[in-house]
Amino acid sequence: MRVWFITGASRGLGALITARALAAGDAVVATARDPAELRARFAEARHFLALPLDVTHEASAREAVAQAVARFGRIDVLVNNAGYGLLGAIEEASGLEVERVFATNVFGLLNVTRGALPQLRKQRSGHIINMSSIGGYSASTGWGIYCATKFSVEAISEALSKEGEPLGIRTTVVEPGYFRTDFLSGGSLQSTAARIDDYAETVGAMRTFAEGADQQQPGDPSKLADAILTLVESTTPPRRLPLGSDTVAAIEQKHQSVSQELAAWRTLATSTDFARGA
């Protein structure tokens, strides 16, 4: 029986992953700012613990991890799922809006991960799954600040994978595309308070697209939850797992664009070394 520790588990993908793990016979420590809904939804689950957790508070993260270990003795899978989106132009985003989204999506993830790592090192085992986005691989108009948080998650995950592998700790960053959750309509997405008319044709168009795309996304959240179960069962999990045909297409498009740009500017790019023998 694996022991899961899942943040942001009260709704959306976090709740689905929690349900799948419990259905698989595993134990789950599910966390949320207010765990009341979790306790009600999974009241009959035998190996289940719902805990309050504000990921932006480091002490709260360490306390939740301690309670999880006290109850189940170990943590096998850590899913850093807590986070939210910010839609707006770079110029439109206020300092406070930027700080808040980074506090949850980046510093919160670090708080929980640092809280869990001593236990994972002690075990010499564990799988950290960091929920990113295609926005963590390829930035889009209107999503610059949100994408910046997810680019950070990608970097943290890649380095952590290399640091943890010799200790038996594996890390995978998951990159979902557009999935039919409440991300675009619920409390998971905020929009900048400021609106600048000069960005109407770019960021304004993205806001209109986001409104129209809600509940029309191509990705099936239920299949994503199944994919996470498949991921943790692998003996050779990848460092990156893109999910969704739109994500795969966006990655391929970016690779092609970067390759073309590198070819066009290769001469200048390689001209800045010292001359051989210098």
Closest CA to 60 of 103, 108, 119: 108
Token code pair at residue 182: 């409440």
Verify whether residue 132 is a known catalytic residue.
Answer: yes
81 vs 179, which has greater pLDDT? 81
* 6 token code pair: 């899942």
Q: Is the pLDDT of residue 151 over 70?
A: yes
What is the edge-to-edge ordering of all strands in the sheet holding 48-52? 48-52, 27-32, 3-6, 77-80, 126-131, 169-176, 240-243
Grouping H, G, I as helix, E, B as strand and the rest as coil, residue 186 is coil
Tens digit of each residue's pLDDT (9 = 90 or more) over 75-125: 999 999 999 999 999 999 999 999 999 999 999 999 999 999 999 999 999
Chain Cα centroid distance, residue 106:
9
Q: What is the DSSP-derived secondary structure letter of residue 108?
A: I
3-state secondary structure of 278: coil
Cβ of 73: how many Cβ atoms within 10 Å? 11
Whether 152 is a known active-site residue: answer: no
Q: Which tokens in the block code for residue 66?
A: 């301690």
> Is 146 tagged catalytic?
yes
Helix, strand or coil, per DSSP, at residue 50 = strand
10, 60, 132, 133: the catalytic one is 132
**Cβ contact 69:171 at 8 Å:** no
pLDDT of 209 reads 77
Q: 58-72 and 109-123 helices cross at what angle (nearest 10)?
A: 30
Which is the catalytic residue, given 60, 137, 138, 150? Answer: 150
Residue 70 pLDDT: 98
pTM of the model: 0.93
Answer whether residue 16 shows pLDDT above 90. yes
The residue annotated as part of the active site, out of 10, 137, 146, 199, is 146
Give the DSSP H or E segment for 127: strand 126-131
What residues pair up with 6 in beta bridges, in sequence order?
30, 79
